[in-house]
Amino acid sequence: MATGQGVKGAAIGLLMTVAAMQAVQAQVPGVTADTIRIGSFGALTGPGYLYGKLPMNGIEVVFDEVNAAGGINGRKLQLVREDDRCDPAAAIGAVKKLVSEDNVFALIGGGCSNATFAAREVLDQAKIPLIVMASVHDGITTPVAPAIFSTALTSTLESQAQLEYAISQNAKRIAVVSMRDAWGRARYTPLMEAFQKKNIKPVADEEMAPDANDATAQVLRLKAANADAVLIVLYPKPAAIFMRDAQKLGFKPLAIGQSGIADPAAFEDQVGSPGATTLFRTISMVRYTPEDPAVDKWRKAIEAKFPGDRLSVFNLFGIGSAEVMVEGLKRAGKDLTREGLVAALDKLTDFPTGVYGAGITCTTSDHRCNKAPVWIAKEPGKPVRVLGVTKVE
């Protein structure tokens, strides 16, 4: 009788413990006994889809792989997508919806810089962990927001890397052609500071509008300045116009781009002038090109899940950030909380993802976790190739 009462008491105690644990778990948004809901925001439509939809496709294949292996601590990962159309107001709305209506546990997202930057205040208020997958605006991670981490490069890091690269290639007369809108300013200002720190004066400093249809004036001025390297702070469209007109006018400097022009193969098509991109180098956030055998696994996964798609560098942005999220979730343990995830991400040191130029390191005082811009180029008729990595401090 006493034994029977003891068993009964133990069973009741166990049930109460489980119920209590479930009650605690139920208070963690987006987490159930068998799922973790992760939100993502970025452009799903419009030209910015490269930095939104494609990284999200990358995230999805990483989640599929994790789920196929049993999930994280028995929980499967679910991805909820929201379209911000690269629009600041839409990004704020998307974050609010993911947090309040979709009740996600954490976020991996941020495609277009200005849109993500606009959403920072809402993110700060929600205290929801975010891993930035593609946005580079400095203001997203500086000053440090306790719950926002970036595996994307930042505009300051890229600007410094552009100048470092030009110097490393023995350029003596370095010029700049830039856009001066919010996106351009976020890169142009740190670039000028980098010039100042190195005590170098650009031999020419030209401006182009985002919608420019001709760059004859800019090219002629740079040519007159006898520039041997041009740092390009432009969107792909004006950059393509610039490269095309440079070719037309026989101006052939070392042309150094940034991650705004992250697909040299597509860029070659956009320029449309044979040989015009021979001396064009640009920054990628990842160390592999889509053709590299090292990313075969991801190529197959993307092509299987999204028929008609081909693996792109933009998928790899998402794959890298998802790997970091998965690692953070694993380290945060079974009793998952947002604070636990933030603490786990804060302690990542040289974490080796399968895609970035170097290990991912975050600290409590610096959430710019990727500081290794990768240089890529494409010679006419040849595949994109990786030239090297610049580690920026």
Which helix (H) or strand (E) segment is 216 a member of? helix 216-224
Query: What is the rounded distance in angstroms from the CA atom of residue 287 to the CA atom of residue 91?
Result: 29
Exactly one of 25, 28, 32, 46 binds other proteins (CB under 8 A); that residue is 46
Q: Is 381 in the site for other proteins (CB under 8 A)?
A: no
Strands 106-109 and 130-132: parallel
Cβ at position 107, least distance to other proteins in Å: 22
Cβ at position 176, least distance to other proteins in Å: 11
Exactly one of 250, 293, 307, 381 binds other proteins (CB under 8 A); that residue is 250
Exactly one of 12, 18, 217, 304 binds other proteins (CB under 8 A); that residue is 217
Nearest to 179 by CA among 74, 261, 285, 275: 261
- Nearer Cβ to other proteins (208/344): 208
Task: Give how far Cα 212 sits from Cα of 45, 207, 215, 245, 313, Å.
Answer: 23, 10, 7, 12, 26
Q: Is 136 in the site for other proteins (CB under 8 A)?
A: no
Answer left, alpha or beta for residue 220, where phi above 0 means left and psi between -120 and 50 means alpha: alpha
Query: Side-chain half-sphere of 274: how many Cα atoms within 13 Å?
Result: 1
Task: Give how far Cα 9 sits from Cα of 1, 3, 6, 14, 23, Å.
Answer: 12, 10, 5, 9, 21
Task: Return the structure tokens found at 264.
Answer: 């040299």
What is the spatial order of strands in the sheet that 148-150 belongs to? 76-83, 35-42, 106-109, 130-132, 148-150
Task: Return the structure tokens found at 354.
Answer: 């399968």
Cβ at position 26, least distance to other proteins in Å: 38
Q: Is 96 in the site for other proteins (CB under 8 A)?
A: no
Query: What is the rounded distance in angstroms from the CA atom of residue 82 to the CA atom of residue 113?
Result: 16
Q: Which residue has the tokens 């920054």?
A: 283
Stretch that binds other proteins, among 33-41, 43-51, 118-126, 285-293 (CB under 8 A): 43-51
Query: What is the rounded distance in angstroms from the CA atom of residue 203 to the CA atom of residue 224?
Result: 10
- Nearer Cβ to other proteins (113/390): 113
Q: Is 228 in the site for other proteins (CB under 8 A)?
A: no
Stretch that binds other proteins, among 144-152, 202-210, 342-350, 381-389 (CB under 8 A): 202-210
Cβ at position 243, least distance to other proteins in Å: 12
Q: Is 226 in the site for other proteins (CB under 8 A)?
A: no
- Nearer Cβ to other proteins (88/359): 88
Stretch that binds other proteins, among 1-9, 246-254, 278-286, 355-363 (CB under 8 A): 246-254
Q: Is 85 in the site for other proteins (CB under 8 A)?
A: yes
Crossing angle for the helix pair 264-271 and 236-248, to the nearest 10 degrees: 50
Q: Is 220 in the site for other proteins (CB under 8 A)?
A: yes
Query: What is the rounded distance in angstroms from the CA atom of residue 370 to the CA atom of residue 134?
Result: 11
Exactly one of 60, 138, 158, 206 binds other proteins (CB under 8 A); that residue is 206
Q: Is 15 in the site for other proteins (CB under 8 A)?
A: no
Exactly one of 64, 102, 124, 207 binds other proteins (CB under 8 A); that residue is 207
Q: Is 181 in the site for other proteins (CB under 8 A)?
A: no
- Nearer Cβ to other proteins (312/353): 312
Q: Residue count at the site for other proteins (CB under 8 A)?
A: 36
Give contact residues for other proteins (rule: CB under 8 A).
Answer: 45-50, 53, 85, 180, 206-209, 211, 213-214, 216-218, 220-221, 236-237, 240-241, 244, 247-250, 266, 269-270, 272-274
